[in-house]
Amino acid sequence: MTDSQAAGRDSRTPDPMQADRNLAMELVRATEAAAIRAVPWIGRGNKNGADKAAVDAMRKFLSTVEFQGRVVIGEGEKDEAPMLYNGEIVGNGEGPECDIAVDPIDGTSLTAAGRHNALSVIAVADRGTMYDPKDLYYMEKLATGPEGVGVVDLARPIGENVKALAKAKGKPVEDMVVAILDRPRHEQLIHDVREAGAGTELLLDGDVAGGINAARPDSRIDMCVGIGGTPEGIITACALKALGGVLHGRMYPRNDEERERALAAGHDLDAVLTQDDLVKTDNTYFVATGVTDGGLCAGVRRFGDRIFTDSLVLRSRSGTVRRVEAEHLVAKWL
């Protein structure tokens, strides 16, 4: 920058590179807040109450983040504020322009029941790069770690994928663990995985955590497969870009009406989409804070006058994986 350019810049104008570097650490404040506010609802049987508490907290903190975020994946409609609705603009209006996907609680049913693996999640990518899931809300998904690059293919039978990945990882098939949402629609899939010789980890909810754990070197999960939400697939893609993993997806219409709508919108229902189709940039962030204890993050805990949170922060451009353990004064949250 020349002296004249520097002189012409308003001293209050943020350095965009500085804002970019700090974005992940600002975002984690929003997931921490959502997780903390959800705690009083854990095990209370009221998933809507838990969700609203988390949404309100996340929305408030996102308004302070130095970026120009557009919600591509949210919840609620505009006339149902304070939900984070699709198309809403969040942030303080300065810094980088971004697409944002939010899930204030990934696992509202888990939270309401007091079960493990509930998370508060945010994913961010460059503006205009996130796939818009408005036409189909479900997809078949397959997620693995870096060993699956060029090895697995959603178009192949699951048994072939399990055996190919086992070979690539250098481990016996019988030591492989495949995570699958525990749903009636997956009965045949579960049977086929076990028939191939692998074991299963059946998830009550939350396939975002399952997909990420499939790419983590310290996880017992080798692969995550099954039919789940398209929004969750896009969020997972942001994380796997930072972990060097693989995500394949294929749109899954649940009925003739959804099929016709998708075809009319120009979707190829046989196409296998990769993480690069779902998020068309190598500059992504993924932030998750544990609400309840799980394999990805520990849940919120309170000891005396302190609240403890555990978060995972990923950035694809730098390839960094950060674990953020924070202490919060209870008095600040009363």
103 is in an annotated binding site: yes
Strand, helix or coil for residue 211: helix
Which residue, among 46, 100, 45, has the nearest Cα to 69 in the 3D structure?
100
* Torsion sign (Cα): 230, 216, 119, 181: positive
State yes or no: 252 annotated in a binding site: no
The answer to the question of whether 306 is labelled as a binding residue is no
Nearest to 291 by CA among 85, 58, 26: 58
CA–CA separation, 254 and 189 (whole Å): 17
Tell whether residue 185 is among the known ligand binding residues: yes
Contacts of 201 (CB under 8 A, 6+ apart): 177, 178, 179, 180, 210, 220, 221
The reply, when asked if residue 138 is annotated as ligand binding, is yes
**For the purposes of burial, counting CB atoms within 10 Å of the CB of 58, is it exposed (0-12), middle (13-18) or buried (19 or more)?**
buried
Dihedral sign, Cα of residue 9, residue 14, residue 16, residue 21: positive
Which helix (DSSP H) or strand (DSSP E) does residue 289 occupy?
Answer: strand 284-290
Q: Is 195 marked within a binding site? A: no
Query: Is 184 annotated as ligand-binding?
Result: yes
* 129 among annotated binding-site residues: no
Whether the CB-CB separation of 229 and 108 falls below 8 Å is answered with no
Please indicate if the annotation marks 183 as binding a ligand: yes
75 annotated to bind ligand: yes
Ligand-binding site membership of 172 (annotated): no
Annotated binding site for Mn(2+): 51, 75, 103, 106, 232
Annotated binding site for substrate: 106-108, 138, 183-185, 205-207, 229
Annotated binding site: 51, 75, 103, 106-108, 138, 183-185, 205-207, 229, 232
